[in-house]
Amino acid sequence: MKKNGLLLLALTAALAFASSAWSAAPQWTWRMQVIHSTAQSDFAQNVQTAEDIMKATGGRLQIKVSPNGTFASSLEAFQACGDGVFEVHSSWPVYAKGVEYAFMPLSNMSLGLDAHDKWVWIYEFGGWDLMQKAFDKVNLKLLAVEIWGTEILMANKPFKSITEMKGRKMRTSDPRLLAKNGVAGITLPLEEVFTGLQTGTVDMAEFGNLKYNEGLGLTDIAKYGIFPDFWNVHFITTVVVNKKAWEKLPPDVQSIVEMAFKAREHQHWTKSQYLSAVVMRELEEKKKMSFSRMDKAQFVELRKQMYQIEQEDIKKYGGLTAETYKSLYKFMEVWYPYKTLGAWWGDGLTPEQQLGFKPGTHR
């Protein structure tokens, strides 16, 4: 009985201590800027992660999440975070390619790996270490890699091939392959994409998955959504932290922060994919947009063209750019034969054939 009383007393004291610690001011308060607006599900996801970290650390670390542009523009935010203007950032690393060109192949590869491929390369073939090497140049530590759901081209003409796009202007983060095929690639930042498509500055625009584009208002001004994404195949965003801020944390808090952001890497992809499927059904039913897929036969020659572009980049930039491409090539040589032979059983079948029952049965 006495033993139970002592245990109860100890438990009460521990809870009182935890309550006291939680009610005290945080030991560390970080500012986090994300590339998203407050209306995007990606913004809410980062807010939830910050709340999880606050709870898991017993209130010791507070992260205040702010939308794009709060502390720096989208094109300058990685450098600003590295300089200590704010502590944590989530965005597309390609925006920092002016500091290290390797961020281009690290986060964006036209006619390159899909999401599944990229996760295998990042976690099993050294991609993570290469990404950290690049971020070392801007005083940032890599915490998480978020791979985006399938991007879609928003347009007001139903382009079926890159040949039909010749002479047009396309908003893209990677104009290299387009330029070789007579398409003018214009790299508008997030803040200017809607206006660019609405005013005709560009004839078509890629930015993100269908759900994200809906949030940007692009589905209100485009008649057609065109797959597949060959320009920014499953783009990558990263969560990074200023190294000096990171080094101030004790090991247990560091582990909590890393686990919290990594825990939602995959959910970032699943949420964007499913919500995009829901949006596509709604837009089709309301007859607001039509969706189509480009002829894949053209991609055989386009991939050869892209390989030559990559070789030109290797000669021009060398260093980490060359190291990244060589890693990707070695990985693809091992991975693609396995991926092709081991493809999902429904690969190549129609949606109706994959279902095995009449469409609409379960609505």
Encode pLDDT of 72-128 as tens digits: 998 899 999 999 999 999 999 999 999 999 999 999 889 999 999 999 999 999 999
pLDDT of residue 11: 35
Encode pLDDT of 131-185 as tens digits: 999 999 999 999 999 998 899 999 999 999 999 999 999 999 889 999 999 999 9
* Distance between CA atoms of residues 2 and 8, nearest Å: 10
Encode pLDDT of 188-214 as tens digits: 887 899 999 999 999 999 988 999 899
Q: How many CA atoms lie within 13 A of 239 on its CB side?
A: 27
User: Is 137 a member of any domain?
Assistant: yes
Say which residue the tokens 């500091």 belong to: 99
Looking at the chain, list the stretches that DSSP marks H as alpha helix, in order from N- to C-terminal side.
2-23, 41-56, 77-82, 103-107, 115-124, 127-136, 176-180, 190-199, 210-216, 243-247, 251-263, 265-285, 298-317, 319-341, 351-355
Instruction: Judge whether 74 and 43 are in contact, CB under 8 Å.
Output: no
The type of residue at 138 is V
Q: What is the dihedral of CA 130, 134, 140, 141, to 10 degrees?
A: 0
Instruction: Judge whether 249 and 61 are in contact, CB under 8 Å.
Output: yes
Paired residues of 40 in beta bridges: none
pLDDT bin (cut points 50, 70, 90) of residue 63 is: very high
Phi, psi at 91, each rounded to 5°: -170, -175
For 48, 49, 90, 258, 346, the CA distances from 52, given in Å and listed in that order, are: 6, 5, 17, 12, 38
User: Is 293 a member of any domain?
Assistant: no
The type of residue at 185 is G
User: Is 77 a member of any domain?
Assistant: yes
Residue 247 scores a pLDDT above 90: yes
Encode pLDDT of 280-317 as tens digits: 999 999 999 999 999 999 999 999 999 999 999 999 99
End-to-end CA distance of the chain: 60
Quick one: which of 358, 355, 218, 350 has its CA closest to 293? 350
Quick one: which of 313, 321, 328 has its CA closest to 102? 321
pLDDT of residue 21: 52
User: Is 52 a member of any domain?
Assistant: yes
124's tokens: 């099993």
Give how many domains the chain has, as a whole number.
Answer: 1
CATH number at residue 57: 3.40.190.170
User: Is 76 a member of any domain?
Assistant: yes
User: Is 129 a member of any domain?
Assistant: yes
For 177, 297, 341, the CA distances from 336, given in Å and listed in that order, are: 22, 18, 8
139's tokens: 């005083």
Q: How many CA atoms lie within 13 A of 41 on its CB side?
A: 19
pLDDT bin (cut points 50, 70, 90) of residue 363 is: confident
User: Is 193 a member of any domain?
Assistant: no
User: Is 357 a member of any domain?
Assistant: no
- Our measurement of the distance from residue 117's CA atom to the centroid of its chain's CA atoms, rounded to an integer in Å, reads 14
Phi, psi at 227, each rounded to 5°: -110, 165
Encode pLDDT of 321-338 as tens digits: 999 999 999 999 999 999
- List, as one string, the DSSP characters of 193-253: HHHHHHHTSSSEEE-S-HHHHHHHTGGGT-SEEEE---SSTT-EEEEEEEHHHHHTS-HHH
Q: Which domain holds residue 264?
A: 25-150+234-273
Instruction: Judge whether 219 and 120 are in contact, CB under 8 Å.
Output: no
Residue 244 scores a pLDDT above 50: yes
